[in-house]
Copies of this chain bind each other. A is one copy, B any other.
Amino acid sequence: MKKIDGWLTAPQGFVAAGVTAGLKVSGKPDLAMVFSKVPAACGAVFTQNKMCAAPVLVDREVNKNDYARAIVANSGCANACTGLKGLADAREMQSYTAGLLNINVNDVFVCSTGVIGAFMPMDKIRKGIKIATEQLSIDGGKNCAEAVQTTDTFIKHSVYEAEIGGKKITVAGIAKGAGMIHPNMATMLTFLTTDAAVTPVLLKRMVKSAADKSFNMVVVDGDTSTNDSMIVLANGMAGNDLITDEKHPDYQAFYDLLLAVAVDLAKMIAHDGEGATKYLEVNVVGAKNFAEAKIAAMAIAKSPLVKTAFFGEDPNWGRIVCAAGYSGAEMIAEKVNLSIGGIRLVENGLNCNVSLEKLKPIMAEKEISMAIDLAAGDAKATVWTCDFSYEYVKINGEYHT
C-alpha cells in the first residue's frame, strides 16, 4: 500500500468537476460533482442529528440501493431546517443532475453544506449543475474538492493504492470540515471513490466500520452537524476478483486501503479545526472497554479548559485528568498515569514535578500527543482534535447568518 498524489479521479472510471454556481458571496467554487462511468456499488453513513438536512433524507433513500453513479454537492447553503420546500429542492437537484447525466434519479447522491435555515437559490443551483456536467473530466478532481470547502483553510484529499489479487486498486477521498465537527457516524462531508470490485452489501458494512475508526474519532467543537455525510462509490473497474465478504482473501487488504484514506482525511480535519493552532492526539489506554476509552478520550478532547491550555502552551495536566474523571469512564484515581509528548507528568495519580523548562519545547510543538492510563482494564482509543484559540471565537462569532 502506498500513498500517491491525486484526487477523486485517481481510481479508474471517475470524472469530476467543481464550478462557481454563485451561492458563495466570495465567488469561489461552490458546486461539486463526481461521476462514475459505470454503476458503482455505494455505501454511506449520515448524521444522526434529529434536525437532519433535506439532502440527508434524500440520500438515505439512495443508499438503500446497491448501485449509484454520481454525487452532486453545493457549499454556501445547508438546505437544513427548510421543511417540505427544502426537500423538494434537494429532489430537484437530484433529478436535474440525473437528467443531464442521463442516469436514473436514484443514482445521484445530493449534499449541501453552509448556513442553516435558508432556502436553496435553485436558479443558481441549476446553472451550476449544468456547467458542472459539461465540465466533468479526469482533471476536475481538484476543482471538485475546492467546491465543497466552507471555512476550511486547506483542501483535504488523500489517495492510496495497492496491488490486491494481482490488480492495482486505488482509493481516493476528499473531505470538508472545520466547524460543527463531532462524531456521530460520518462527520462532515467526505466522498471516497475506488475502482475496487466489491459487493454493495459488503461495502455498506465496510463504510460503517471505517467511519467508526476514522471520522467518528475526530472532534473539533462537539457540535454534530445537520448535514454530515460520508459517501463511497466503488465501480469495480480495477477488474479485481469481486470481494464478497469478510472471508474473501482480498478483503483485509482492501479494508486497509479504505481505512488508510479515511484516517488520513479524519486527521486532516482535526488539523484544520476552526482556528486551530495545534493538532492534538488524545490516547486513552487501560480502559475497561473501547466504549469507555472513547468516552474518556472524547471528554478530554472536547474540554474547553484542556483545549485553551494547549493553545496557551500550558502543560496543565490537572485539566486532562479532571476531564477523564468526569467522563464517566471507570478509572482508579490513585493509579492514573499521564504523559504529554512522551514525558511522564503524572504517575500513580501524583504529580511527577517535571520542570516547566523541560516541557516548554514540547508544548511549543504544532502536533502534540498525550496518553492517559486509566488503570481499569486493557482497552484503548485515540481521538484526534485541536486546540481552542481566539481565532475559533472570531470565526464563529463573525460567520454571520
> Could you list which residues of chain A lie within 8 angstroms of chain B, going by C-beta atoms?
47-52, 78, 80-84, 115-119, 179-180, 182, 184, 221-226, 302-305, 308-309, 311-312, 314-319, 321-326, 329-331, 333-334, 336, 346, 348-351, 388-390, 392-394, 396-401
Contacts and interface: CB of A to CB of B under 8 A. Distances in A.
A312 to B, nearest CB: 3
A394 B311 CA distance: 9
Interface centre among A82, A305, A322 (most CB of B within 10 A): A322
A393 B400 contact: no
A93 to B, nearest CB: 19
Given A322-B223, A401-B314, A336 B396 contact: no
Given A314-B397, A397-B309, A401-B315, A221 B304 contact: yes
Contact of A397 (B84, B312, B318): B312
Given A184-B326, A304-B388, A309-B397, 18 more contacts: A50-B329, A51-B322, A51-B349, A81-B318, A82-B350, A116-B319, A117-B346, A118-B351, A119-B351, A223-B303, A223-B323, A226-B322, A304-B304, A304-B392, A312-B396, A314-B399, A389-B393, A390-B393
Q: What DSSP secondary structure best describes chain A's contact surface?
A: loop
A63 B221 CA distance: 38
A318 B83 contact: no
10 contacts: A50-B326, A80-B322, A81-B333, A83-B348, A83-B349, A221-B303, A223-B326, A224-B325, A305-B396, A318-B401
Nearest to A391: B393
B398 A351 contact: no
A311 B390 CA distance: 12
Interface centre among A308, A330, A336 (most CB of B within 10 A): A308
Contacts of A222: 222, 302-304
B398 A116 contact: no
A349 B53 CA distance: 11
Nearest to A325: B51
A325 B225 CA distance: 9
A324 B116 CA distance: 14
A182 B303 CA distance: 11
A336 B51 contact: yes
Contacts of A78: 318
A318 B180 CA distance: 12
